Chains A and B, each alone.
Chain A
Amino acid sequence: DAGVTQSPTHLIKTRGQHVTLRCSPISGHKSVSWYQQVLGQGPQFIFQYYEKEERGRGNFPDRFSARQFPNYSSELNVNALLLGDSALYLCASNSQGSFYGYTFGSGTRLTVV
């Protein structure tokens, strides 16, 4: 079975640009979460989606948005990129009702120059 898949694996963008990151959850998982991991830090929660609805949001500006599609895949969008947005963006999926069974993808490494 495929795990959580994320695309692209690496991305370089210029300040002020927009970026879209994509995630496909494990088959059967209906919940997707997004995390930002800056070098040397633990992941920070950005969003959680379940059944295409936003169920939770971390302390991130409105430049960050996300959505979940009917097939449970998800997109994370970041507008007006800043240098500080450079990080590893991780997607995690888990099954309904689980508060700890999160499976993470390998992430998208975003570099803003």
Chain B
Amino acid sequence: QKEVEQDPGPLSVPEGAIVSLNCTYSNSAFQYFMWYRQYSRKGPELLMYTYSSGNKEDGRFTAQVDKSSKYISLFIRDSQPSDSATYLCAMSAGGGADGLTFGKGTHLIIQP
């Protein structure tokens, strides 16, 4: 079993829809949770980060962490064609020695 599981998709939704992206994990030591967006041929770009459990909102994006279920989510409201990209979840126990552990990434397509 991989430490972080993420459905690779592709996930195709119409413009304006609410998108839900999810990851599950097995390592209970993870405390820092991040979502990155990666466009083709580019490096990952940090979208959201959360420490421990709870919700965080930033514009059209909402990140949720449920440590009891080892489950994290990213919601995108009013999705736009420019949101089409691969979304990667990433996690860390802190300390830096183990780096970030990424999911496989979900390929999202927003249809105009």
Contacts and interface: CB of A to CB of B under 8 A. Distances in A.
Nearest to B8: A40
Contacts of A46: 99
Contacts of A107: 42-43
Most A C-beta atoms less than 10 A away, residue of B45, B100, B104: B100
A103 interface: yes
A101 B104 contact: no
B41 interface: yes
B97 A99 contact: no
Nearest to A106: B43
Given A104-B44, A107-B43, A45 B96 contact: no
- Contact residues on A (Cβ < 8 Å of other chain), bracket: 20 to 34
A44 B100 CA distance: 8
Interface in A36-52: 40-46, 48, 50
Contacts of A41: 104-105
B44 to A, nearest CB: 5
B99 A35 contact: yes
Contacts of B43: 4, 90, 92, 104-107
Contacts of A104: 36, 43-45
B105 to A, nearest CB: 5
A42 B42 contact: no
A31 interface: yes
Nearest to B99: A45
B21 interface: no
A56 interface: yes
Contacts of B62: none
Interface of A: 4, 31, 33, 35, 40-46, 48, 50, 55-56, 58, 90, 92, 99-107, 109
